[in-house]
Amino acid sequence: MSEKKQAFNPYLPSWEYIPDGEPYVFGDRVYVYGSHDFYNGHAFCLGDYVCYSAPVDDLGDWRYEGVIYERTQDPLNERNNMCLYAPDVTVGPDGRYYLYYVLDRVCVVSVAVCDEPAGKYEFYGYVHYEDGTKLGEREGDEPQFDPGVLTEGDVTYLYTGFCGRGDKSRHGSMCTVLDKDMLTIIKPPVFVAPGVEYADGTDFEGHAFFEAPSMRKVKDKYCFIYSSTLMHELCYAVSDKPDGGFKYGGCIVSNTDIGIDSYKASDRAVAYGGNNHGSIVRIKDDWYIFYHRQTNGTWFSRQGCAEKIKIEDGCKIAQVPMSSCGLNGGPLVTPGEYPAYIACNLFSPEMETYVDEKQPRIMQEGKDGDENPGYIFGLGDKATAGFKSFDCRGINTVVIKARGYINGWFEIRDKIDGPVLGKSERVDHSTVWEDYKIKVDLPDGIHDIYVTYVSGVGGNKAMVGAIALLSE
């Protein structure tokens, strides 16, 4: 039997951009459904739906399942001028797989169906009232967005909604109950979580519903996962029933690590964030949160990540920090070389919370679809890339693979504001990747590694392609 692959964040190939991940275990594999961004894309969700899966006992071995649904399969998008926004999947009473989604410029929920988890889905219909009126088009309906679905017995609970600041016409996330045909409404929408304009005085205040509703059942509790008005965090609320009574629980993950105080100040952002979308899943005996990060200095090239979480009695979930090892089940082994794109922290002294093109960023060579590994671009003076975590035994050397019109040096730490453990010689201009060895004093144990570039002259910026931890 072949040795298991290590798992990283992002968990898919570095040239793949599948945000809004909804993970499910079907049989002995975990499947992830999401929207499909492009590298250097000009908008969200430009691609067809694709699917990836992995064995439940080898979460580093992801398999591309191919295109499962094309943009033009929806009758409303025959001109191919609309995007497929974030989808969700559920198994219907008939055992088939139902894909729910919303196109980017309409307010109704579309449904596709397939006999297998990652086969070719076919258009099935639109969610509608008994008289045939589509959900979202009846007078008084709020626009539909980001469908999440949960099926129990013969009924399916459909969660939708988008609530921007300043828009009092949007009240919150809605729950609509569907019949066993997966399309017909048997209970009209009710609000289950308030939007920002209606959250004051509730336990959702400060973390009101924004978008990305997703529902999971954890033992006898219903756990509602959503993106809050802060955008960078995935929060949760808990109820004893699927269609109301939800109480705010907290934040599960932020793609900036705001809220984590175990290795830094709670309000300090250590990655350039943006919107977030994902959900939780139990894989064998462990629970994970799937989410996404921003790359390329833009909101439109997002990549899926995942972290192990703990769920306590009553469905209590503590916020988990971002890591480089995600689904690995533990720290990464050493000695070894690792690509720089698995950095979970990336920040500058002039830190901002939300991503833009001026900041250091993860990027790749070429165009979307080119299978070129990602790397860190634009690491300016005192900018830092952080990697979590490594199991270090006898490690005394860190090698940084770098290039660029640079004139400075690299410093290594194992704590975000800790002492310098090693410093490279001055690095010089190079248009090819070159290795820079740094001797470090690193005791045996589990360590995070922070790589800081110090610009010796002017505003030059480094590119980093890989980091190696060696015993020499």
Close Cβ partners of 416 (under 8 Å, ≥ 6 residues apart): 263, 264, 270, 345, 384, 386, 448, 450
Q: Position of tokens 């055992």?
A: 95
Question: Which residues are paired to 155 by β-bridges?
Answer: 152
- Residues 437, 423 contacting (CB under 8 angstroms): no
Q: Measuring CA to CA, how many Å separate 4 from each of 7, 54, 57, 309? A: 9, 12, 9, 22
Active site residue 20: yes
Please tell me the chain's helix, strand, coil percentages from 3-state DSSP, rounded to the nearest 5: 5, 45, 50
Q: What is the DSSP string of 137-157?
A: TSTTPPPP-S-EEEEETTEEE
DSSP summary character for residue 244: B
Structural contact between residues 147 and 226, judged by C-beta atoms closer than 8 angstroms:
no
**Other residues' Cβ atoms within 10 Å of the Cβ of residue 366:** 11
Cα angle vertex 428, ends 424, 431, to 5°? 120
Closest CA to 223 of 195, 248, 253, 254: 248
Please give the angle made by the CA atoms of 442, 60 and 414, to the nearest 5 degrees: 15
d(CA 270, CA 383): 11
Catalytic residue among 20, 22, 381, 411: 20
Residue 342 tokens, joined: 């698995």
d(CA 60, CA 53): 10
Catalytic residue among 141, 142, 146, 211: 211
Q: Extract the tokens encoding 109.
A: 């929920």
Name residue, tokens 């002995």. Answer: 28
Tokens of 339: 């690509």
Which residues lie below 8 Å from residue 304, measured CB to CB, with a gap of 6+? 10, 11, 12, 18, 19, 21, 32, 34, 278, 290, 291, 292
Burial class (CB in 10 A: 0-12, 13-18, 19+), 113: middle
Neighbours of 143 (CB within 10 A): 15
- Rounded Cα gap, residues 247 and 208, in angstroms: 12
Q: Which are the catalytic amino acids? A: 20, 211
